[in-house]
Amino acid sequence: MKTTTHMKLAFSLVLITSLALSALAHTNEPGPLLTVYAVNPTNPQVSFDNDPYVYSPPVPENPTVVYPTTGDAPVPPTPPGPGVITSDAPPDSHTPNRSDWNRFVYYDLPSESATVANGPYRTSGVPMKFDFGTASSPVQPGYTRVSPSTLYLPSTGYGWGKTGADSRDRGATGTGSGEESLERDFCLVNAGNAFYVDIPNGKYRLTFLVGDSTAKSGITVRADGIPIIPGMGASAGHWSKVSVLYESGKEAFSSTRVDRDGKPFPMQKSGRIRFEFIASIAVINALTIEPVSDAEWNAKPVLYTASDSTVASYYTLTYPPFPTGLVYMGWGEALHFHFDNGIIIDNQALAGRSSRSFAEEGVLDAILNRIKAGDYLFVMFAINDSADTVPSANDPNPYNNRKTSPETTHKAWTRIYINEARKRGGIPVLVPGQIKCTYDMNGQFSNSVQGYPQADRELGWELGVPVVDLNKESIDYLTALGPLPDDGDPTTERLPVGTQWYRTNPDGTVNDYIHLCPYGANEYAKRVTRLVLKTPGLENLATHVIAPTMPQPGLSVRSAY
C-alpha cells in the first residue's frame, strides 16, 4: 500500500511539474519553483513559490501571516543556492540615469565674488583655528575671530564670500569644558554663502563645533561641494563636535557627478577649501584645520559603508547598554563591535538613499576623497532603488532621483562605485540587500527587496567583486531560528523569532517591517562578519573579525558564536 501511495505521489508531481514547465515555455516571465510540503504523503500540499533568493513576492503593508497555532507546520524545503539568472530585460548599458543636479540638492553652488575668484591664494600656516561669533564677544585663546564682517581677503586668506551672515552671543554659558568662549557665540550663515580658507593642498583633520544654549542646532557641512558631514547638531543647551579627514586639492572634478549641462561637477581648487554650512537656520561655532601626516592617514585600513537607513547610524551613544523606546539602529552602527581595533569602521550610510541618489548627492565623493589602497567599500542598496514617486493632480509627472532598475541602471550606478574605488586602490564589496520582516505562514522568510540582490550577485561575478550575500543569509538564518516559544495561549500568534530583530516600537512590536532595533542591528552585524570569514577575496579583512560577548535584551535567541 505504501509503495502504491508513493508511486501515485511521484506520478502526480511529475504531471504537475510537466504542466508547469509547459505553461512557462510560452511566457517570458521567470518561472516559479515547484514546492511540495509533504507533511502527509497521501495528501501533499502543492503550490508554486517564487525563488526566495531572487524574485520578490508582493509584500503587504502589514503582513499578518504567522505560524499555524495548531497541528504540525509544514517544513519548508531547502531551496537551491543562487545562480546566474539570464534575464529577459535589456542588458546593462553601463549608462546611469543622471539627474539635473540642482533639482535635488536644494541649494545653488555659491557664486564667487571677484575678490574670492581672483585670489591670489595666500599660503596660510596650519593648524588654523576659527572662533565664529560676534565682533565683540570673547575669543577662545589660540583661535582667530570670525564675525559676519570677516570677508575673504587675499591678504588674510580666509573669510566669508559674501555679506549677510549674522551672529549671536548668548553670554557666559557653556558646558564647563574650557571652551566656553567657543560655545557662547556663533555665526548664522545665510544660504549661498561660503567660508573660504586658503591652505596648501594636503591631508587634514577638520573639526566642527555646533551648539546653542537656548535652541537646537544642526547643519550639513560641505567642503568644495562634497558633503563631508551629512548632518550634525545638538539639542538646546548642548554642543556637538565632529571631526573628519579630508584631502584638499585632490580632484578638480567629480568622478561621479555631472552638472546641469552634463559636464563633470566642479569640486576642488588648488590651494583653497570652500566650506558651506547648510540648514534652515545654519549655526557654526568653531572650525579647526589640522594637518595629518601620511603615516597617520595610512595607519589603519578603513571599512566604508555606502547604504541606506537599514545600515545607517542614528546615535552617538556607546553600546551597550542599548537605548530604550522607539529606536532604530542600522547594522553599520553595530559593525564595530565585531572587528578589532586594527580596522576603522566609517559608516557613511544615509536614510532614504538609493545607489543613484547616494552618488548624485555627493556622498560617494566624500568616501572617494578619503579612500586609500587597502580600504574596503561595502555597498548595499535595494529598498530605495525601487522607490517610485506617485503622480498627483499637482504634479502628474513627478521627479524621482532614486529610482533604478535592477538589471540596468542599478547595475550601471553600482559599477561606478566599483570602478572608482578600484581606481584609488580600494576594495569594493557588494552586499545583496537584507530582507524586510516578511514571512509566510510557515515562518519561511523570503526576498522582499525585488531583483536588486540578484543584480548585485551577477555584477559581482562579472567584475570579480567579493559578494557578501546578506540577502540569502538573512533568509536562511531568520527562517532557521524557528518560532517563539508557545506561551500556552491558543489565541496568541506564534511569531517567528526573527521578528524580534525588527521590534522598534516602545511596546516591543514591529513598527514598519523594514528598520532594525539595536538588538537586530547587532545580529545583522554578526551575520555580515560571519560572511566575511568565508567570502573569497576578504581574507585580510577576516583577520580583524572578533566574536564579542553582547548582552541579550531579554531574548532567548540562538547565538551564532
Does 429 score more than 70 pLDDT?
A: yes
pTM: 0.83
| Alpha-helical segments (H) within 362-512 | 363-370, 409-423, 452-463, 470-480
Give the tens place of pLDDT for each residue, 312-356.
988 654 445 555 555 788 999 899 889 999 999 999 999 999 999
pLDDT, residue 275, reads 96
pLDDT, residue 17, reads 32
Q: What is the average pLDDT across 89-100?
A: 69
Closest CA to 66 of 440, 418, 381: 440
pLDDT, residue 370, reads 96
Q: Is 2.60.120.430 the CATH number for 113-299?
A: yes
Q: What's at 252, amino acid-wise?
A: A
C-alpha cell at 545: 573579525
User: What torsion, rounded to 10 degrees, do the Cα atoms 248, 253, 254, 259 define?
Assistant: 130
Q: What is the average pLDDT across 103-108?
A: 54
Give the tens place of pLDDT for each residue, 253-301.
998 888 777 788 888 888 999 999 998 889 999 999 999 999 999 999 9
- Cβ atoms 269, 290 nearer than 8 A: no
In sequence order, the 6+-apart residues with CB closer than 8 A to the CB of 487 are none
pLDDT, residue 48, reads 32
Residue 438 to residue 318: CA distance in whole angstroms? 30
Residue 288 to residue 204: CA distance in whole angstroms? 10
Q: What is the average pLDDT across 111-117?
A: 85
Ranges in the chain annotated CATH 2.60.120.430: 113-299
C-alpha cell at 251: 580632484
Residue 219 to residue 21: CA distance in whole angstroms? 58
pLDDT, residue 23, reads 33
Residue 286 to residue 158: CA distance in whole angstroms? 14
Q: What's at 495, amino acid-wise?
A: L
| Three-state DSSP state, 268 | coil
Q: Is 3.50.50.60 the CATH number for 301-387+399-548?
A: no
Q: Is the peptide bond before 127 cis (omega within 30 degrees of 0)?
A: yes
Ranges in the chain annotated CATH 3.40.50.1110: 301-387+399-548
Give the tens place of pLDDT for each residue, 348-368.
999 999 999 999 889 999 999
| Three-state DSSP state, 174 | coil
The secondary structure of 26-76, three-state, reads: CCCCCCCEEEEECCCCCCCEEEEECCCCCCCCCCCCCCCCCECCCCCCCCC
Give the tens place of pLDDT for each residue, 539-555.
999 999 997 654 444 33
The mean predicted confidence, pLDDT, of the chain is 79
Give the tens place of pLDDT for each residue, 472-512.
999 999 999 988 887 778 777 778 899 999 988 877 788 88
Give the tens place of pLDDT for each residue, 444-465.
888 888 889 999 999 999 999 9
| Range of lowest pLDDT (151-155, 165-169, 427-431, 544-548) | 544-548
Give the tens place of pLDDT for each residue, 71-90.
444 444 343 344 444 444 45
